[in-house]
Amino acid sequence: MNWIRFFRLLLTGATLFPLVLLAWKLDPYGEFAFRQMGSSNVWIMHGPAMEPNRQNKGFMNNPAFIEGKRGLIVIDPGGNAFVGAKVLEEIEKVSKKPIAAILNTHKHGDHWFANIALAQKYPNAPIYAHPNMIREVKAGEAEKWYGILERLTGNLQGTRPFRYPAHELRDGQVLEIDGERFRIFHPKRAHTDTDLLILHENSDTLFLGDNVMKNRLGGFDASSSILGNIELLEGIMKGKEHRLYVPGHGPSGAREETVGPFLRYLKLLADEAKKAYEADEEYYSVKKEAIAKMKEFQNWDAFDHQMGKHLGKVYQEIEERDMQ
């Protein structure tokens, strides 16, 4: 036995082994762990960009945390108690600091149902959201999402009673926690009427919530506005450029690569719907033509069953605006 080789092997084994143990293994999607965004104090665990299902166990959003001096501020911990427990486990592999606060970007359960897992260990950590979200989740939105996610994932055990946000954040507000500054934006109606966009000023990171998705499409519910979403994203593209953009689903990155594709998708929808409306045709008369222009998005998750609905929805919005 060559002793130098033996020790080298031992060392390699010792350094590799904990790394293998480090990540959360979620078959067949691979391993998930919080990654530091550059040299900033922002950490994100990007979930698989797809609809909630039994295999992903309802994990498909982008839980994030900001490491302050004394504690952690978590944004959108995920879609059920199980995911929340995994998220907490993964957070603790990176930092042992306590959770100081939780921020929820909007009312959809795939982003905030995991509050409960974090609150079990940190019952005094305040949970923040827009007042519309707090009102709507209590008025039935939480139960509606519980039904949707339970049907898709069968993995909602322990998620009720819901851990609702109790602290309000409004448009223009600046929240300061542990030296970390968060500037809050609320578009009246975009992905929903409950959205918060959160700019973490220390790292110049913009959390977009579901106003941007990449590699997957999701629903636009009755409270949403596709035209409002387009206006919001056009404003973001024209405004000051930030260091990092974090979508609700899909990879984070620079502005153009992150916001650009979803904005192009929404604008294509609106342009085609407008064409149909002005020609006095129904929206589905332009569906084929629209799809042909959407090569870039055709392999996004849920494209096949969401795109037609989105086209119909934006057509209806164009009609409503015209009637006003």
**Closer residue to Zn ion, CB minimum distance, 189 or 277:** 189
CB of 18: closest distance to Zn ion in angstroms?
Answer: 35
**Site membership for Zn ion, residue 313 (CB under 5 A):** no
Residue 320, class by beta-carbon neighbours within 10 Å (0-12 exposed, 13-18 middle, 19+ buried)? exposed
Q: If DSSP codes are grouped into helix, strand and coil, which group holds residue 93? A: helix
Q: Which stretch binds Zn ion (CB under 5 A): 62-70, 202-210, 237-245, 276-284?
A: 202-210
| Pairing mode, strands 99-103 and 72-75 | parallel
User: CB under 8 Å, gap of 24 or more: what pairs does 299-304 form?
Assistant: 300/49, 300/215, 300/216, 300/217, 301/49, 301/50, 301/51, 301/215, 301/216, 301/217, 302/50, 302/51, 302/216, 302/217, 302/218, 303/217
**Site membership for Zn ion, residue 180 (CB under 5 A):** no
**Closer residue to Zn ion, CB minimum distance, 122 or 162:** 162
* Count of residues near Zn ion by CB under 5 A: 2
Query: How many Å apart are CA 231 and CA 211, to the nearest integer?
Result: 11
Binder of Zn ion out of 141, 210, 301, 317 (CB under 5 A): 210
CB of 123: closest distance to Zn ion in angstroms?
Answer: 26
Site for Zn ion in 229-268 (CB under 5 A): none
CB of 323: closest distance to Zn ion in angstroms?
Answer: 28
Q: Which stretch binds Zn ion (CB under 5 A): 35-43, 101-109, 114-122, 223-231?
A: 101-109
**Closer residue to Zn ion, CB minimum distance, 38 or 147:** 147
- Dihedral sign of CA atoms 271, 219, 141, 316 in order: positive
CB of 181: closest distance to Zn ion in angstroms?
Answer: 25
**Site membership for Zn ion, residue 193 (CB under 5 A):** no
Q: Which stretch binds Zn ion (CB under 5 A): 100-108, 143-151, 220-228, 310-318?
A: 100-108
**Closer residue to Zn ion, CB minimum distance, 57 or 108:** 108
Tracing tokens 């500037």 back to the chain, one arrives at 183
Task: Please count the CA atoms within 13 angstroms of the CA of 142 that sit on its side-chain side.
Answer: 21
Task: Please count the CA atoms within 13 angstroms of the CA of 233 that sit on its side-chain side.
Answer: 29
Query: How many Å apart are CA 39 and CA 291, to the nearest integer?
Result: 40
CB of 60: closest distance to Zn ion in angstroms?
Answer: 11
Q: Which stretch binds Zn ion (CB under 5 A): 104-112, 146-154, 276-284, 315-323?
A: 104-112
Query: How many Å apart are CA 61 and CA 252, to the nearest integer?
Result: 12
Query: How many Å apart are CA 232 and CA 186, to the nearest integer?
Result: 10
**Closer residue to Zn ion, CB minimum distance, 68 or 189:** 189
**Site membership for Zn ion, residue 189 (CB under 5 A):** no
CB of 284: closest distance to Zn ion in angstroms?
Answer: 25
Site for Zn ion in 106-165 (CB under 5 A): 108
Q: Which residues bind Zn ion (CB under 5 A)?
A: 108, 210
